[in-house]
Structure 1
Amino acid sequence: MTVAVLSRALGRSIEVREPASPREIVRSRLPAGAPTALAEALLEIAALMRVDVKGSRTDTVSRLLGREPRTFAAWCARNAVAFG
């Protein structure tokens, strides 16, 4: 989980509160309400993120930068002071 990686890099605990319902997911991002299509898209994204925490892999970074991609953990370690 990305929060755990960030927590380790910062050396402190980060509390994560899971939304109680799909409605809460939408309300937390758009407190004034959302058009139906946008609300449905948010819920679909949330469901996909819970199923696939690794996402899709491509060779785009390698091709564009000429090196292997770095990890989120490495990024967190390099940028931890920004979260201080």
Structure 2
Amino acid sequence: MVYKVDYRDGDVLRWSLTDDGAEYAVDDGYAPTLYVSAHDDGTLADVRSPTTPATRPRKDRSARSFDTAPGVIEDIL
């Protein structure tokens, strides 16, 4: 299971736990996903990135948030 991702010298290093500690592998296909929502008087138009090509409505809460505000999911390609 991946527990950390580093960016080093243009490479994505995907770290995983092993019986002996941790090891990394270069991941050429890594594409992060960001969960974006607006708060207070903000709107989704205020927080959406114009440079992100793929966005879709967020249908539920992210795993790390108790936020129930409408949001979008941005896939960084």
Structure with the higher strand share, 1 or 2: 2
Work out which of the two has the higher radius of gyration on C-alpha atoms and give 1 or 2: 1
**Structure of greater relative contact order (alpha carbons < 8 Å, 6+ residues apart):** 1
Structure with the higher helix share, 1 or 2: 1
State the TM-score bracket (shorter-chain normalisation).
Answer: under 0.3
User: TM-score, normalised to structure 1's length?
Assistant: 0.24
